[in-house]
Amino acid sequence: FELSKTIFTCDDLGKNEVIARVVDKSGNEATTKVIITIVDLTAPIAKAKNLTVDLGLDGLAKVDAKLLENGSSSGCGGFESSLNKSVFDYNDLGENEVNYIVKDDRGNLATTKVSITVRDTISPVVVSQPGKMYLNKNGRLDVGDARALVKICDDALIMKNNQPGGF
């Protein structure tokens, strides 16, 4: 029993027509066409690196999975990569564990976990507000709550200095 082709590669995915030949003890020969279907069931290999991102002025960090790619591969053909979470905001500050997903051209999947660290590097916005304040009967004014004098962004904290005279 012989086949006209016995080694198949990624170039042979799909249906392949080969000739099967049989020879008996008397030397009589018969051939027939055989269809061999080659299928790639091999899962790709997902390899990704950790990433640190900064929030933008809109308070968001959008991560493209391609930025984490670190040597992923697929048995036959190409692949696409994605993340199970790719948009981050103030609620995600710090380290976030995310799935990096690789899908090859035939739908085979592989995943690996990566760490995306989200940072807020934008200074808070403060705008002065005009206001009248009056000295007490001892000729002194103690401003205990600065919010009356400034408008700040939502995530800013007001730090109270207990030392007289300010900063």
Separation of alpha carbons 62 and 59, rounded Å: 10
What is the b/e burial string over 81-96, where b = at least 16 CB atoms within 10 angstroms of the residue's CB?
bebeeeebeeebeeeb
Write out the chain's pLDDT in tens, 167 residues. 899 999 999 899 999 999 999 999 999 999 999 999 998 888 899 999 999 999 998 989 999 999 999 999 988 888 999 999 999 999 999 999 999 999 998 888 999 999 999 999 988 766 666 667 778 888 887 766 666 666 666 665 555 555 555 55
Q: Are 24 and 90 in contact (CB under 8 A)?
A: no
* pTM of the model as a whole: 0.65
Exposed / middle / buried, residue 114 (Cβ in 10 Å: 0-12, 13-18, 19+): buried
